[in-house]
Structure 1
Amino acid sequence: MLCNNCHHYQLTPLPRVEDDENFYNKNSQAEFVSNITVEGAREKALPDTKRRVELVKNYINMHSNILDIGCGYGFFVESLNNQGFEADGLETSISRRLIARENCKRPILDINLLSETTPKDYVVKYNVVTLFHVLEHISSPVKFLRNVFKFLKKDGYLIIEVPNVDDHLLSISEAYHNFYWQRAHLSYFNKKSIDLLLSNFKVQTKEFTGVQRYSFLNMANWLITNKPQLSDPIFEPPVELAWLNDKYKEQLVSNFKCDTILTVLKK
């Protein structure tokens, strides 16, 4: 369903909170997307993990603390901790939370931020809170973000990354278009709709940046095979083709036709 005023797409009918809890406790999304091992998932996530760690370093120092909400298996949290930073996670999926706790040796919180019993205040506040490809899974984004902000210190940063519904590939590949709309993703955003969503919150600054995670080879794969590269996506092409990939990404990012939107807010 599309709202013509704010350009926010949302799955309809929306699942109940308890249905969503069951969906993630069974790890149903991972079974839909791919059937790879945890170590396979780690390898697949490595380019994003490295990019996100370098991004967050712009907003922290060695005395900062970070909370990654929707931390999954904890690869991002683990990487930050291995570099000497203090990072915790929050994960609602039982199976992923247990693995994240083992990987990170750090607190991995079990809090449903859409539950009516969510505490009004939290003991621990963080300098930076991250939501990497989490908000699209949320049925009530405003309610969810109100609880997210409770974790954030004054002058702290909230970093949000979501898929972009204006992704150029959606307009040129029917197969990708059919794959894109899935049960796990309840909300779909472009730059305009996420800006309107975030206007519900008083912040000092708000900055939007486009990110193209996948290379032009991924686009070519969709157009030629009509199938996703689930277990081995190509984030970067061979070095000989890096110049072409740079041009491809630059063009998509410049007009927000890229696959991802990154937003940084200062509370």
Structure 2
Amino acid sequence: MIKCNLCESENYKTIATEIREGEGLIVQCEDCGHFFQAIELNSDELEEYYNDIYTATNSLQETDIEVQEHFEERFKTLDNLISHLNPYLKDGDDVLDIGAGAGSLLYAIKDNVSTLSATELNKSYVEYMKSLNIYAYYGFFEKLSFPKQYDLIISINAIDHMPNPTTVLEEIYKSLKEDGRIYLELPNRNEALNFFLPEENRKKFNKFFWHKAHYSYFYEETIYKLLDKIGFKNIKVANRHEYTIVNYLNWYFTGEPQKRFVDATTNTKLFSGSNSFELEMNSLFEKVNSDFLDILKKNKRGDTLIITANK
């Protein structure tokens, strides 16, 4: 029997039967409103998926990439994220990143905090992080034991990958020092691309949005209620958008994603800039992109929910 992975209700309605990888089942709980994927993988299957399959199938280049390349490519895209995270960093903080990938974010903030720790389900990423002097732990966060509690726990688009987000968030609460803080980011079910595209291309994006790796699809109300139930205080849910207006227009007119994550999240240029017209047009689109991001943030239609709270 399918149960909601937030409230355990067995009442649900079908939302989609096709996902990015093909056949699938996305449902919405009729009691708490949570969207989730009706899929069951045991621990061994999840470990195999993240070590042998996920990196290749999650890349639009349809090929596996080396750990160093993954680290470098992700590092290039962090400015937007770090601009939102910076106010929550403090000198002397012990920081834990759950689902840290190859450690790009932790490496980027290393000079602003005291110690860096991470959890990850990809063994190659764990070994790479250790080479960066990050205390990296392999395995499921909720099953690991840590030598200390943390001032700040970060998780960027990782909790939605976990079969039981309630258990994970309860363990996060226990792993914080008194008045410790969380900074979480999660995909936003209400992002603009799910609703504001021509119908044919909107359907293509909807299918692209549902992903085998994502167990949960949150919106502001569901994550707020869950954190409040666990006992977190000073809960705030904000919004940002990772991708550029060029990526939005690419979906709008072609119904397809851009091939490289770095381009889709950082490049606002339409021209090579070989003459004054092209340079001025590129400058115009840079300004338009800034307004685009502000509009999405204001209307809470960005692709990312930013959740902060205290223990």
- Assess same fold via TM > 0.5: yes
Aligned to 2:218: 189
Report the alpha carbon displacement of residue 114 of structure 1 after superposing the two structures with TM: 4.2
Q: How does 1:113-192 map to 2 (within 5 A)?
A: 113-115=141-143, 118-119=144-145, 122-171=146-195, 172=197, 173-192=202-221
Q: Are 1:202 and 2:202 counterparts?
A: no
Instruction: Output the amino acid matched with 2:104.
Output: F
Is 1:249–2:293 an aligned residue pair? yes
Pick the aligned partner of 1:69 from 88, 91, 98.
Answer: 98
Question: Structure 1 125/52 Cα, relative in aligned 2: closer, same or farther at 3 Å?
Answer: farther
Residue of structure 1 in register with 2:19 after alignment = none
Match of 1:99 in 2: 128
How far residue 54 of structure 1 moved from its aligned partner, in angstroms, is 4.0
Q: Are residues 126 and 143 of structure 1, via their aligned partners in 2, closer, same or farther at CA, if it must alter by over 3 Å?
A: same
User: Matched residue pairs, number?
Assistant: 261
Tell me if structure 1 keeps the 8 A contact 2:72–2:104. Answer: no
- Structure 2: gaps (5+ residues): 1-26, 270-282
Quote the residue 1:88 is aligned against: 117
- Encode CA deviations 1:119-155: one digit per residue, 9 max, x unaligned: 5xx4311110001001110111111111122221111
Q: Supply the distance in 2 between the matched residues of 1:59 and 1:83 (Cα, whole angstroms).
A: 10
- Contact between 2:98 and 2:153, CA under 8 Å: does it hold in 1? yes
AA at the equivalent of 1:246: S
Tell me if structure 1 keeps the 8 A contact 2:150–2:180. Answer: yes
| Pair 1:6–1:250, CA change in 2 (3 A) | farther
Letter in 1 for 2:157: H
1:14 aligns with 2:14: no
Query: What amino acid is the match of 2:162?
Result: I
**1:258 match:** 302
Q: 1:114–1:14: structure 2 CA closer, same or farther, 3 Å change rule?
A: farther
Specify which of 232, 242, 246 is matched with residue 217 of structure 1. Answer: 246
| Preserved contact between residue 209 and residue 263 of structure 1 (Cα < 8 Å) | yes
SS in 1 for 2:28: coil
Query: What is the CA distance between 1:162 and its match in structure 2?
Result: 0.4
Partner of 1:33: 58
**CA offset at residue 84 of structure 1?**
6.1
> Which letter maps to 1:235?
T
**1:108 is matched by which residue type in structure 2?**
A
Larger radius of gyration: 2
RMSD: 2.0
More strand by share: 2
Q: If the length of structure 1 is used for normalisation, what is the TM-score?
A: 0.89
- 1:262 match: secondary structure: strand
Q: CA deviation at 1:113?
A: 2.9
- What corresponds to 1:234 in structure 2? 264
Structure 1 residue ranges without an equivalent (≥5): none
| TM-score (normalised: structure 2) | 0.77
